[in-house]
Amino acid sequence: MSGLSEGAPFDALRGQLEQAAQEFADGPDALQGILLGIVDDVDRAVREPLEIFPVCHHSPASAVAMARRLREKQPKVVYLELCEDMAPLLSELRNCRLPVAVQAFASEVRGFPAEWAPLSVVAPITEASAEYQAIAYALDTPGVELVLVDRSSDHVFQWQAGGREATGAEDRPVDEEAALHGDAVGVEIGDLRPRFAELEEHLLRHGRVRHWSEWWHQYVELPLGDSDHDTYRQVMLLIGSLFRRLAPGDTGRVRVDEDRERYMWTRMREHLAATGTDPRDCLYVCGAFHASSRVEEFGVHGSDAFAITPPSGSTWLHGLIPSSHAAIEAQFGLAAGSVSIAATQWAKNLKRTKVRPFRLAGQAGTRKAAKPPAAAPAVPVAPAAPSDKLSGFLQSPPALDGLDEAELLGWSVEIVRSARRNGYLASTADAIAVFETSILLAGMRDRARPTPYDFQDAAVTCIEKETVPGRRDVRRLVEILMGGDRIGQVGYDALPPLARDVHDRLAPLNLRLQQRGVQRALMDLTAQPELRACSDVLWMLRHLMPHGAARPIMGERELGKQSVQESWDLALGTHQRALIELGYEGVSIEQVLEQRLRRAAYAPNATTAQVLGAVEDAVLYLRGGRLADELGTRALEVLATERSVDGAPEVLRRVRRLLAYYRISRPVLPSWIESFAKTGYAHYCTLLPTAFTDEDATVRQVAAMLGFLFSMESLALSLGCDRTQLDLAFAQSHPHEPSRVALLWAAQVHLGQLSRTELRERCDALLADPLAVPAYPRYLSGFLHALEPVPQLAGFVVEAVSNAFARLPDPVLLPWLPTLITTLRAEGTDLAPLLIREAGRVFPGRLAALDAWVPPWQAAEQAPAEPKAGGGGGSGRAALLGAYPETCDSVAELLGCEGVWETETPDPSGAVLVGRHPETAEAVELLLTGG
């Protein structure tokens, strides 16, 4: 670069900058090298045979200059800085309403860390951008070729895996409009922003602005809006070189920038060599930061030493997703509202400069342009020798744009009207105040004309006197006034097959599913049985898509149940991106759901409960069958390998539902669930003694194990299991913690090893022991959990809790009450109704009867003992039979016996019995005498 010829067009500027550097820095130093290096970068770029067109992302000045230059030059090949694998999608932009984003998506990751999956790269495109002008020109002009030359989406993550940082904003979107791009890595044309924090702070402070977007609008966008092509090009090259030379020494980011430049120039030279195109007939559209490159591969005669690595084994899918101004601002760190202001500035530039922009034929969301007058085809003008435009631009004072009172007055009136509609007490006086404050702020910031940012600050100051939750703030209202947060939409023809299939299958609902917002769908499935197919689709979408895309208001889908009527809130247009990304996983939602269920079931860390959940989803949404049986077999395999009881409650809940469903829907149980019952019975019998003493296992988990054993016992025994396994498990269980001891007692009652009377006596002994009283609430917690495996103990639990309230001292009872409440709320949602129903049966129904009420268990204790029967022991029963002989007559007739009733004799003596039955006495005699 130092060997430029003497007649170079920038020699005069170079000399002036060298003299200025010596004066300001008191001698040659780094400042001189930077200033002269910037001029060398500009000189080198304008001398390149292949014309370089530097742009800034979403810059109206760049878009106007691009449209003007394309009509003047009419290049045959347009090289565009965009991921080369996104080229096939660009023709579908005409079926979309801008802004949208071109997306590359990879759900199956190969060659990258597994935790990165899924991989996603997006490139947002708006109408007020230079890249859209180049795309529209190339696609709608016969004989023009559009070539994307930037690194592929795969290389974005290859370089990141190699220690280089991928491009994209670090801040993640937080609201719905800003979340349209999700976690995708953003790529843009012209990432033009100072990377030296001190430089940006200096520019903002001396420019009297708050954000970089505002500085760019004031000091670059407006001055370049009316400039000629050479001036625009050289100024953009100057800015790109300045920011590049002042960038900090971040080796990772610098390596990414340089490798991208090497990549793009290598691709362009390959294309020129393959097609034989003259470089003078081409146009290279890239960011101003990359236009001032200093790599050896720069230019059509650069080095070919850069080797492009092959792609990884990941499968990349491409599509278009909706975007919005807020999403672009959030992803690339722009000021809120800056893209909307740029769209407004774009319309003003077109009106002022009379430049005809390029639009794709049939572009959705735009007015049909008036047919231009017929004119002779433009003849490309031979490029003239580069001349110095920088000197005049840098030396001329800034053009003072006069105050447009009509425009500012219109803004002031409209913002007051919008504020009143949104609940602010704004009036005409506020409109006048906003008008005058805007002029005042512009004057304080050395501006002759208030910018939209000045107007925004004035509106906030004069109108937003207080912040009200739920109300749009005035700053947001100004953004809407300046153009609003335009949200793009992907047209039906540009959707993937899955999304089109969903729209076709939901067509009977007669809703505008592509429209943003919430729509209500009412379905009477009895009167219109054909809508059941729509119901199936909606339930699958609810399972696959984010919350809010398809939300049921009325109706349910559970095992063995079917809704008669359903009501849905649908927002598929709002969640269009999620629906499009489903299309990357399959060609139908059934296929996507099946793949996800398999992926969840066969994951290395899948638990038995998760696999059973996949089985239940397969039955609910895919009608079971082969997939459900396959996943059930997988659940059996996972259960056999588990060595903990962490998922026992969920396993119990899901197995009960599946077993009840199969018993009423199939004549024979599936083989996998029979095997699951057998294996689970043996598995939990083996783990039960350890679980009773394991500190990591909770009482709820142990209770769930017992619930599985007791509820599956009959089925398991019928399939060949041995009851001895359960007896041995309980014989080996010796818990010490009070709640587990209570749980063991309840299980023993169920097994018949302990009677209720004995259980009641043990509880009374605990209440009578002063040392055991503080632990009594923990015993009660165990009894509460015991209702899961032994629900018939509900009456005893009511009795135990009542005794606790009656006999426990307040220092013990009151601290336990929060534990009782939280236990019932968190773990006893199914147990609380059982307790309430049992308590309602036991306790009196009226408050007046409560004082005289005696609990049934106390009434049994206070009842007088029954007199013992006489020697015969059966006089009472005999009298009862004599009083009601019909029952015995009916039984005798049923058994075929004939008998005659005899008169009851009072208590026969033993001698009479011996006389009637001598055989017994003779046998006893033989036994005693040994005869």
Using one digit for the tens of pLDDT, what is the confidence trace for 726-752? 889 888 989 989 989 999 999 999 988
How high is the pLDDT of residue 616? 92
Calculate the dihedral angle through the C-alpha atoms of 211, 213, 214, 217, rounding to the nearest 10 degrees: 160
Given a cut of 70, is residue 408 above it in pLDDT?
yes
State which of 281-290, 471-480, 862-871 shows the largest mean pLDDT: 281-290
Residue where the block lists tokens 């300045």: 242
588: Cα separation from own chain's centroid: 21
Confidence band (pLDDT; 50, 70, 90) for 540? very high
Q: Which of 654, 658, 613 is nearest to 631 (CA)?
A: 613
Q: What's the chain's average pLDDT?
A: 80
Given a cut of 50, is residue 164 above it in pLDDT?
no
How high is the pLDDT of residue 172? 43
* pLDDT average, residue stretch 430-458: 85
* pLDDT average, residue stretch 601-626: 90
How high is the pLDDT of residue 612? 93
How high is the pLDDT of residue 179? 59
Given a cut of 60, is residue 909 above it in pLDDT?
no
Given a cut of 50, is residue 373 above it in pLDDT?
no
Given a cut of 70, is residue 907 above it in pLDDT?
no
* pLDDT average, residue stretch 223-252: 77
Q: Which of 308, 317, 277, 289 is nearest to 146 (CA)?
A: 277
**pTM above threshold 0.75:** no
Q: Give helix then strand counts, H and E, for the chain.
A: 40, 13
Given a cut of 50, is residue 168 above it in pLDDT?
no
Q: Which long-range contacts (CB under 8 A, 24 or more apart) does 671-677 make?
A: 671/629, 672/629, 672/632, 672/633, 672/635, 672/636, 673/632, 674/715, 674/719, 675/636, 676/632, 676/635, 676/636, 676/639, 677/712, 677/715, 677/716, 677/719
State which of 181-185, 190-194, 799-803 shows the largest mean pLDDT: 799-803
Three-state SS annotation for 288-324: HHHHCCCCCCCCCCCCCCCCCCCCCCCCCEEEEEECE
The pLDDT > 90 percentage for the chain reads: 18
C-beta atoms surrounding 8 within 10 Å: 16
Residues 308, 297 contacting (CB under 8 angstroms): no
Of 48-62, 82-96, 374-388, 493-507, which range is least confident?
374-388
860: Cα separation from own chain's centroid: 60
How high is the pLDDT of residue 162? 56
Q: How far apart are CA 190 and CA 408, in angstroms?
A: 31
How high is the pLDDT of residue 331? 78
Q: Going by C-beta distance under 8 Å and a sequence separation of 6 or more, which residues neighbour residue 627?
A: 594, 597, 598, 618
Q: How far apart are CA 635 and CA 603, in angstroms?
A: 12
Given a cut of 90, is residue 502 above it in pLDDT?
yes
Given a cut of 50, is residue 667 above it in pLDDT?
yes
Confidence band (pLDDT; 50, 70, 90) for 180? low
How high is the pLDDT of residue 905? 59
How high is the pLDDT of residue 611? 93
Q: Which of 726, 739, 717, 722 is nearest to 689 (CA)?
A: 726
Q: How far apart are CA 223 and CA 51, in angstroms?
A: 23
* pLDDT average, residue stretch 380-387: 58
456: Cα separation from own chain's centroid: 34
How high is the pLDDT of residue 182? 59
Q: How far apart are CA 488 and CA 328, in angstroms?
A: 12
Kindly list the distances between the CA atom of residue 155 and the CA atoms of 84, 85, 892, in Å, as whole numbers in the listed order.
10, 10, 94
Of 194-203, 636-645, 837-846, which range is least confident?
194-203
Confidence band (pLDDT; 50, 70, 90) for 876? low
Given a cut of 70, is residue 8 above it in pLDDT?
no
What type of residue sits at position 523? M
Q: How far apart are CA 97 and CA 493, in angstroms?
A: 12
Of 228-242, 638-652, 687-701, 844-858, which range is least confident?
844-858
How high is the pLDDT of residue 1? 36
Given a cut of 60, is residue 818 above it in pLDDT?
yes
906: Cα separation from own chain's centroid: 86
Q: What angle do CA 62, 68, 73 make, to 5 degrees?
A: 115
* pLDDT average, residue stretch 493-499: 88
Of 13-27, 220-234, 517-531, which range is least confident?
13-27
What is the DSSP secondary-structure string of 604-644?
TT--HHHHHHHHHHHHHHH-STHHHHHHHHHHHHHHHH---
Q: Going by C-beta distance under 8 Å and a sequence separation of 6 or more, which residues neighbour residue 417?
A: none
* pLDDT average, residue stretch 363-371: 60
Residues 21, 31 contacting (CB under 8 angstroms): yes
What is the DSSP secondary-structure string of 438-504?
HHHHHHHTT-SS--HHHHHHHHHHHH-SS--TTS--HHHHHHHHTT---B-EE-GGGS-HHHHHHHH
What type of residue sits at position 736? H
Is 426 buried (19+), middle (13-18) or exposed (0-12) by CB count in 10 A? buried
Given a cut of 70, is residue 152 above it in pLDDT?
yes
State which of 14-18, 369-373, 676-680 shows the largest mean pLDDT: 676-680
C-beta atoms surrounding 755 within 10 Å: 11
Is 189 buried (19+), middle (13-18) or exposed (0-12) by CB count in 10 A? buried
Q: Which of 194, 191, 230 is nearest to 211 (CA)?
A: 194
* pLDDT average, residue stretch 108-128: 83
* pLDDT average, residue stretch 317-328: 85
Of 272-281, 335-344, 354-363, 615-624, which range is least confident?
335-344
* pLDDT average, residue stretch 680-709: 89
Q: Which of 205, 218, 448, 442 is nearest to 341 (CA)?
A: 218
How high is the pLDDT of residue 891? 79
What type of residue sits at position 532? R
Residues 577, 180 contacting (CB under 8 angstroms): yes
For 565, the 3-state DSSP assignment is: strand
How high is the pLDDT of residue 478? 83
Q: How far apart are CA 216 and CA 191, in angstroms?
A: 13
How high is the pLDDT of residue 169? 39
Confidence band (pLDDT; 50, 70, 90) for 476? confident
Q: Which residues of 149-182 are buried (b: 16+ CB within 10 A; e: fewer)?
A: bbbbbbbbbbbbeeebebbbbeeebeeebbbbbb
Q: Which of 292, 294, 293 is nearest to 235 (CA)?
A: 292
* pLDDT average, residue stretch 307-323: 86
Q: Which of 170, 166, 193, 169 is nearest to 248 (CA)?
A: 193
List the structure tokens of 644: 């903990």
How high is the pLDDT of residue 544? 92
Three-state SS annotation for 694-718: CCCCCHHHHHHHHHHHHHCHHHHHH
Given a cut of 50, is residue 17 above it in pLDDT?
yes
List the structure tokens of 209: 């602005």
How high is the pLDDT of residue 95? 87
Q: Going by C-beta distance under 8 Å and a sequence separation of 6 or more, which residues neighbour residue 42?
A: 10, 234, 237, 238, 241, 292, 390
